[in-house]
Amino acid sequence: MPHADASVQPSRPLAAVLFGLSGCLVDFGARTRLQTAEQPSPEQAQATPGALDTLRRLHQQGIPCAWLEQLPIASSRHLAATLPKWLKSTPNAPAPWPAPDACWQALMALEVKGIDGCVLVSGEPQLLQSGLNAGLWTIGLASCGSLCGMTPSEWQVLSQQERELKRGKATVQLFGLGVHSVIDHLGDLGTCLADIELRRLKGEKP
C-alpha cells in the first residue's frame, strides 16, 4: 500500500474570484472614469497584461469569476466586449462602493454559498475597500489601476526608474487600505492566489 507524501499539503480551493473591470481586466490606468465620452476608446477596451490567461486558468480550474463596475452600463458593456462570454457581469450594485453590497451581489449571482475563500482583485481603492468591508480576501493592482492612472502607451514611454517610483507609491497606498496582497498586474496573480490558499490552509482569515 503506497504511503502518502507528508510533504504534499492538502489544498483549500478558492470559492470565487471577483475582478474590477476598469483598471483591472481592461482599461489599463482606469482612464474611462476621467472622460466625458460615452464610448471608451479601443485602447481602453484592450485586456490588461495577463488578464485573459488568468481568466482561462481560473475557468479551467472551475473557479467562478465575475467583474464589478460602477461606470454607466453602456460603457461597462463596451469595455467588457473583449472578455470571455462565460464571465459573469455585475454592474451597478444598489449601494455604491465602498459599501459591501456590490461584492455580495456578485457572489450571489455566482451562487456562492458564503464568503469563505472568496477573493477580490482590483486596482480601484474604493472597490478594494468594498471587498474589505464585505469580508473578502483582497489583492490590489499597483500599475494598472487609477493610482498610477496611465494608459498603456503612456506607461511604455516611462523609464524603468519612473515606473518603479509610481508602482512603489501605489503599493504603499494600497497596503495603507489594508489589502492582503499587492501585485503589479494580473500576470502575477497565479502565485498570489496560491499564497492565499496556503494562508487559508494555515487557518488565516481575511
Domains of the chain, earliest start first: 16-201 (3.40.50.1000)
pTM of the shown model: 0.93
Sorted by sequence, the CB contacts under 8 Å of residue 103 that are 6+ apart come out as: 18, 68, 118, 120, 130, 131, 133, 134, 136
| Predicted confidence (pLDDT) at residue 37 exceeds the cutoff of 80 | no
50 Cβ neighbours under 8 A, 6+ residues apart = 185, 186, 187, 188, 189
Average of pLDDT values for 3-28?
78
pLDDT in tens, 87-129: 999 877 779 999 999 999 999 999 998 999 999 999 999 999 9
For the segment 183-205, what is each residue's pLDDT rounded down to a tens digit? Answer: 999 999 999 999 999 999 999 99
